[in-house]
Chains A and B, each alone.
Chain A
Amino acid sequence: MHGVLAYAFGGILALLVVASAVTALLIRRYPARSYTSVRLRIQTWWWLAGLLFLALSFDPLVALGLTAFVSYLGFKEFVSLVPTRPADNPTLLLAYLAIPVQYLWVHMAWYGMFIIFIPVYVFLLLPLRMVVAGETRGFLRAAGTLHWGLMTTVFSISHLAYLLALPEHAGTHGPVRGEMLVFYLLVLTQLNDVAQFLWGKLLGRRAIAPRISPHKTLEGLLGGVLTTTLLAWLLAPWLTPFSPLDAVLAGLLISLCGFTGDVVISAIKRDIGVKDSGRLLPGHGGALDRLDSLTYTAPLFFHFIYYFYY
């Protein structure tokens, strides 16, 4: 592993140790209160951080395979939540097949294909397969939900993997590699969620989206934006090619778009009538509950950096 990343993971380790210690202290101090949810969440964070470490420590192919698998889990959760028509099962198999193909383009670093494969080819192909199946009732809704699922869980998330395919770029403290960008984006996106949650708990008063996410507050959002932008600016010289101004812009982008992704997925869950998308990640819910912000930040951060630096 690259030296800078090793230090960065040291930082994550320290953060998790502090989080676990604080929870342990709180549990001792207030034995009457229940901290099960917080404890489970932090425990899951340990696993996720370990997974990220494994993904970035070995060959980029490992990271690519893991990202593809995460897309698969997210898409599976999505199609399991939404109603599907029995006649669309063959179409669904095709949609699943699009996942390895999309990641193959990433592996080949074939940017042109990567960027249009799902929005153009798969978008046009799936309805064709549905026409062959012959069921017209609910056609538009079925085609729409399928494509929505692929765009969020596969197309968006695959941008994370494409960061790995980007060539080395000169940074303030040495060359910047794809792994560092992945780390930067992932850690900031997830810390932004945590920061918004914590600031909301501390200062939250004004609900910002009461009909969609009653616990999201304006204070939480602003606290998160400030924390994330500060961190983005602090980490940028080591992990990215950003100038200080661009780093601040990237921080604003990640925090505001992360929030948007979060509430958009919440709105969908509310539409379907579920609270959590699954139980894969104890304390968090399903894979989609953790990917929600990333469905927005991954493609937007990617195009921000791709446009200005590559």
Chain B
Amino acid sequence: MPTNPFLKAGQAVLRWLFMLFVAYPLVLLGLGLRVRHRERLPAQGPAIVVANHNSHLDFMVLLALFPFLSVPRVRPAAAADYFCKVKWFEWLARNFVGILPIVRGGAQQGEADPLEECYRALEAGQILLIFPEGTRGQPEQLAELKPGIWHLAQRFPEVPIVPVFMHGLGRALPRGQTVPVPFQVKVAVGHPIPLLPDKYTFMASLRGHFEHLRGKVAPPPEQDDCLVEEGLNEPAKNEPAENELAKNESC
């Protein structure tokens, strides 16, 4: 994050431009949102918003939930191996979207803390968006949750963690598809999750919160149409590497 006030203002302008010309048209006109309890979203940072991950559009939906003026203070955490592969793409992602790159599997390599930039953002009073699944996974399914969020929460016990569940994006733009299809998206925002000292109970409670929110916006899995279910078991052919990376991923 730039410390120079001019650079900071410039970045805020770029992020507003991104919202006006990319995120809002795609999310509000292309998809359309039905949001439950938008008022539960944190108005002030520092705060952490955890959401399920099914699509490249997820972060745009989350950004569009916040008031326009506070968007520059909302920072989506994103996989460094995906967004920082190419220099110019990283520049765009950092300045127009405000991503915080996370090196997936970084903790195991004995290098710098992969969450370092997330710490800085929270210390600066920003709102962090995190996908604990670490990868987009199969359409409309909740993958295994990575414990990076627990480490983050241990370090910032005062920071509220607000869960958000989005349904419909796995239909609109599942992994492997390049052009989004317009589908309405339902979003449910939950109450802040209490922090638990034990990693496994905390992860289980986080999953429980997601499942509860899923029940608010999506039909229960057994009632889900067999046709929708069927496509779920198809292997994702395009990005086999991402699953491998996700295995020891931390955020």
**Contact of A279 (CB < 8 Å), options: B34, B171, B183, B234:** B34
> In the assembled complex, which residues on chain A have CB atoms less than 8 Å from the CB atom of B184?
76-77, 80, 278
Shortest CB distance A107–B (Å): 21
Q: Does A129 contact B (CB under 8 A)?
A: no
Interface residues of B in 13-27 (CB under 8 A from A): none
Is the CB of A172 closer than 8 A to any CB of chain B?
no
A89 to B179, CA, bound (A): 9
User: Would B182 and A96 count as touching, CB distance under 8 A?
Assistant: yes
Select B177's contact among A72, A89, A273, beta carbons within 8 Å: A89
CA distance A109 to B219 in the complex (A): 44
Question: How distant is B48 from chain A, measured CB to nearest CB, in Å?
Answer: 28
- Check if B181 is an interface residue, CB within 8 A of chain A: yes
A174 to chain B, nearest CB (A): 39
Chain B 168-185 near chain A by CB (<8 Å), digits 1 or 0: 100100100101011110
Is A85 located at the chain interface by the 8 A CB criterion? yes
Within 8 A of B (CB), among A46-95: 72-73, 76-77, 79-80, 83-87, 89, 92-93
B171 proximity list for chain A (CB < 8 A): 80, 84, 86, 89
Q: Is the CB of B227 within 8 A of A96?
A: no
Query: Whole-angstrom distance between the alpha carbons of A92 and B171 in the complex?
Result: 11
Which residues 126-174 in B have Cβ within 8 Å of A in the complex?
139, 168, 171, 174
| Number of A interface residues in the complex (CB < 8 A) | 23
Given A80-B168, A278-B34, does the pair A85, B183 have CB atoms closer than 8 Å?
no
B230 on the A face (CB < 8 A): yes
> Which of the four size classes fits the interface of chain B?
20 to 34
Chain A minimum-CB-distance residue to B224? A83
A77 to B168, CA, bound (A): 12
- Give chain B residues whose Cβ lies under 8 Å from the Cβ of A85: 227-228, 230-231
Q: Which of A86, A141, A273, A278 is the one whose CB lies under 8 Å from B231?
A: A86
Who on chain B is nearest to A76 by CB? Answer: B182
Q: Does A138 contact B (CB under 8 A)?
A: yes
Q: Report if A113 contacts B (CB, 8 A).
A: no
Q: Are A83 and B228 in contact (CB under 8 A)?
A: yes
Contact B181 A86 (CB under 8 A): no
Cβ of B105 under 8 Å from chain A: no
Q: Is A264 an interface residue (CB 8 A)?
A: no
Q: How far in angstroms is the closest Cβ of chain B from A150? A: 14
Q: Is A275 interfacial (CB-CB < 8 Å)?
A: no
A residues near B231, Cβ cutoff 8 Å: 85-87
Chain A residues contacting B225 (CB-CB under 8 Å) are 83
CA distance A141 to B227 in the complex (A): 10
Inter-chain CA distance A130–B145, complex, in Å, is: 35
Question: Is B32 interfacial (CB-CB < 8 Å)?
Answer: yes
Per-residue CB contact flags for chain B residues 211-234 toward chain A (1 = under 8 Å, else 0) read 000000001000001111011101
Task: Scan residues 269-291 of chain A and give those whose CB is less than 8 A from a CB of chain B.
Answer: 273, 278-280
Contact in complex: B228, A84 (CB < 8 Å): yes
A86–B228 CB distance below 8 A: yes
Determine if A93 and B168 form an interchain contact, defined as CB atoms under 8 angstroms apart.
no
In B202-251, the 8 Å CB interface with A consists of 219, 225-228, 230-232, 234
- A92-105 CB mask vs B (1 if < 8 Å, else 0) is 11001000000000
Alpha-carbon distance between A169 and B72 when the two chains are bound, in angstroms: 56
Which residues of B lie under 8 Å from residue A86 when comparing CB positions?
Answer: 139, 171, 174, 228, 230-232, 234
Chain B 172-200 residues near chain A, CB threshold 8 A: 174, 177, 179, 181-184
Q: How far is the CA of A77 from the CA of B182 in the complex (A)?
A: 9
What's the minimum C-beta distance from A13 to chain B, rounded to whole angstroms?
A: 29
* B168: chain A residues within 8 A (beta carbon): 80
Q: Is the CB of A96 within 8 A of B228?
A: no
Assembled-state Cα–Cα distance A276/B152 (Å): 41
Interface string of A137-167 (1 = CB under 8 A from B): 1100110000000000000000000000000
Q: Which of chain A's residues have a CB closer than 8 A to the CB of B183?
A: 76, 79-80
Question: In the complex, A137→B228 CA distance in Å?
Answer: 11
A279 CA / B33 CA spacing, docked (Å) = 9
Best-surrounded residue of A83, A86, A92 (most CB of chain B within 10 A): A86
Once the chains bind, are A83 and B32 in contact (CB under 8 Å)? no
Instruction: Give chain A residues whose Cβ lies under 8 Å from the Cβ of B228.
Output: 83-86
A-B contact list, 25 entries, CB within 8 Å: A73-B32, A76-B184, A79-B182, A79-B183, A80-B32, A80-B168, A80-B183, A83-B225, A83-B227, A84-B171, A85-B227, A85-B228, A85-B231, A86-B234, A87-B231, A93-B179, A93-B181, A96-B181, A137-B227, A137-B230, A138-B227, A142-B227, A273-B219, A278-B32, A279-B34
**What would 13 more interface pairs be, CB under 8 Å, given A93-B179, A137-B227, A278-B32?**
A76-B183, A80-B183, A83-B225, A83-B227, A85-B227, A85-B230, A86-B171, A86-B234, A93-B181, A96-B181, A138-B227, A278-B34, A280-B32
Residues of A within 8 A of B (CB): 72-73, 76-77, 79-80, 83-87, 89, 92-93, 96, 137-138, 141-142, 273, 278-280
Those 7 A-B pairs whose CB atoms lie nearest each other, nearest first: A86-B231, A83-B225, A80-B184, A138-B227, A85-B227, A76-B182, A89-B181
